[in-house]
Structure 1
Amino acid sequence: MSQIKVLLVGGPSYFPDDDRVQFAASLTEKVKHRLGAGYEHFVHRGDFTTRGGERLAVFDWTARTAIAE
């Protein structure tokens, strides 16, 4: 299975810039990124961007959920 390089946009202001580029298995599945005591959720809405000469799918922030104890 190939991985798709994606750019995560939106979310909390403290989301690290170094974590914004990730890999996803599919454009139709959510990306869930652990940050602190929770998860930031991102979805692809059809947008793409070019960064460093590479075409990246843009995943927009949708919600934060807490980690269950």
Structure 2
Amino acid sequence: MGNIKVLLTGGPATLREADRIHFVADLGDKVKIPAGNGYEHFSANGESRTVDDLELPVFAWCGRTKIAE
């Protein structure tokens, strides 16, 4: 787990609010969250938002992949 706290935006409405805050090692990393039978992918979009008085980089949803069988 990295030490940079980021905010995940977009993606499916079923993504839990608790999963919207994530940690990365580097802002160039992509985030991959397991969801149902696949993964939701997020990447930095250059924006930031204030959450609980902290300015967090925003990682926007950029796609979904299915789990390989």
Looking at structure 2, the residues matched to 3 and 65 of structure 1 have their Cα atoms a distance apart, in angstroms, of 26
Identity of aligned residues (%): 49
Looking at structure 1, the residues matched to 45 and 11 of structure 2 have their Cα atoms a distance apart, in angstroms, of 15
The RMSD of aligned alpha carbons is 1.5
Runs of 4+ more than 4 Å apart: none
TM-score (norm 2): 0.91
Gaps of 5+ in 1: none
Letter of the 1:6 partner, please give it. V
TM-score (norm 1): 0.91
1:26 to partner: Cα distance: 0.9
Match of 2:44 in 1: 44
Gaps of 5+ in 2: none
1:27 to partner: Cα distance: 0.8
1:10 to partner: Cα distance: 0.2
